[in-house]
Amino acid sequence: MTKAFKILTFQASTLLAGILMMSVVADLARAAPAPSTAAVSIDNFTFKAPVVTVRPGTTVTWTNGDDIPHTVVSKDGVFKSKVLDTGDRFSFTFAKTGQFSYFCSLHPHMTGTIIVKA
């Protein structure tokens, strides 16, 4: 094997490895879209924002920022949190489209809606 041929072979294999790596990276990017998330804070007896619109598959996380316990309860029984103390979180992933109204079972005047549309 000549020196020039060895160099050429090395360059070709490096190039091939590079192409393979790029296609693997492209596959990974296609296979794993970033998971969608949305956040609702509970502050001063209010869900903020009271109406949130998301795409199907989005995980919504509520965080209680009040010094008082709250809950997050779906009016249609789709989801129900335990009692959330200060700083506690509750998450629910909305797989299906629709309009999901919810309230705090401890303070029923606290209401919110998650709208899921494609």
Tokens of 99: 């309009």
Cβ closest to Cu ion, residue 10 vs residue 45: 45
* Nearest distance in Å: CB 101, Cu ion: 15
Cβ closest to Cu ion, residue 54 vs residue 66: 66
CB contact set of 8 (below 8 Å; sequence gap of 6+): none
Angstrom distance (rounded) from CA 82 to CA 98: 23
Kindly write out the interface string for residues 18-37 of this chain, putting x where it contacts Cu ion by CB under 5 A and - elsewhere. Answer: --------------------
Beta bridge partners, 94, equal 58
Beta bridge partners, 37, equal 59
Cβ closest to Cu ion, residue 57 vs residue 106: 106
Residue 104 has phi, psi (to 5 degrees) of -95, 120
* Nearest distance in Å: CB 36, Cu ion: 26
Is residue 64 within 8 Å of 85, Cβ to Cβ? yes
**Residues numbered 58-117 forming contacts with Cu ion, rule: CB under 5 A:** 70, 104, 106-107, 110
Q: What is the binding site for Cu ion (CB under 5 A)?
A: 70, 104, 106-107, 110
